[in-house]
């Protein structure tokens, strides 16, 4: 049951503030997953590396083509000043240089997607894909959660609102640990569900609670 309002208790679920599935943006094989399941990482740390040898070769080729196109455009521009090249030749050379620049820029963007950095400090919750596995753009690779304090999510009976506000204190008894923790309401929802006559609320543990993990649940007591 989600609530036992008669005895001042409601069910509560521990959730990460940020839970993200990282997906690849290039079609490639996974070369490395440096952080194991359950492992911690820092913001900006590389979490996924793809085998992008082919893309890097294409980038090198595009850059070489760009250099050649720029040289040709410069030569034609100099020749035009000496009346040794027509305006059409100059325009065509400049057009090819622009095309080469666009291709080099595109390949640089692709190569830039050959690794995925952590958007925040946290832990690897699950490896969805494996090293050496080939993935397409959009295929999930890792589930990650942030390392910050967990959110305690619950539904409160709407009739409790008169005595409830951010900062209101309660106690959480965690099913998996059989232990209790002091907590407080951080924020209340903006709308009451007219069917269940309940309102969502989010709380946080007061002080440290390193033993708590996302997905744990328990009872929040407001007595």
Ranges of each domain in the chain: 3-17+149-221, 19-50+114-146, 54-112
Instruction: Output the six-digit token pair for 133.
Output: 């596995």
Query: What average pLDDT does this structure show over 32-42?
Result: 94
Give the per-residue pLDDT at 85: 58
Question: In Å, how far from its chain's centre is CA 212?
Answer: 22
| CATH class of the domain defined by 54-112 | mainly alpha
Q: What value, to the nearest 5°, has the Cα angle with vertex 222 and ends 221 and 223?
A: 95
State in Å, rounded, how far the first CA of the chain is from the last one.
Answer: 18
Contacts of residue 191, Cβ cutoff 8 Å, sequence gap at least 6: 199
> 7 or 164, which is more confident?
164
| pLDDT above 80: residue 217 | yes
pTM score of the predicted model: 0.70
> 2 or 126, which is more confident?
126
d(CA 169, CA 104): 58
| CATH class of the domain defined by 3-17+149-221 | mainly beta
Tokens 């753009």 -> residue = 137
Question: For the segment 132-189, what is each residue's pLDDT rounded down to a tens digit?
Answer: 999 999 999 999 999 888 999 999 999 998 888 999 999 999 999 999 999 999 999 9
Question: For the segment 74-124, what is each residue's pLDDT rounded down to a tens digit?
Answer: 766 666 666 665 666 667 767 777 887 888 888 888 888 899 999 999 999
Query: So what's the architecture of 19-50+114-146 in CATH?
Result: Beta Barrel (2.40)
């Amino acid at each position: 049951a989600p609530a036992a309002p008669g005895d001042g208790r409601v069910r509560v679920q521990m959730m990460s503030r940020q839970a993200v599935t990282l997906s690849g943006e290039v079609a490639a094989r996974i070369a490395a997953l440096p952080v194991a399941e359950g492992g911690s990482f820092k913001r900006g740390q590389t979490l996924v590396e793809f085998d992008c040898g082919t893309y890097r070769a294409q980038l090198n080729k595009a850059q070489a083509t760009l250099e050649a196109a720029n040289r040709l455009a410069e030569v034609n521009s100099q020749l035009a000043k000496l009346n040794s090249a027509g305006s059409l030749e100059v325009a065509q050379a400049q057009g090819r240089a622009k095309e080469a620049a666009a291709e080099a820029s595109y390949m640089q963007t692709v190569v830039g997607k050959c690794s995925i950095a952590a958007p925040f400090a946290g832990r690897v919750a699950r490896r969805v894909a494996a090293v050496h596995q080939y993935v397409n753009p959009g295929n999930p690779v890792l589930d990650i959660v942030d390392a910050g304090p967990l959110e305690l999510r619950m539904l409160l009976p709407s009739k409790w609102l008169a005595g409830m506000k951010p900062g209101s204190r309660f106690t959480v008894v965690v099913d998996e640990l059989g232990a209790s923790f002091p907590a407080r309401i951080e924020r209340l929802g903006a709308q009451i569900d007219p069917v269940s006559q309940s309102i969502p609320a989010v709380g946080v543990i007061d002080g440290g609670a390193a033993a708590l993990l996302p997905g744990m649940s328990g009872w929040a007591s407001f007595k």
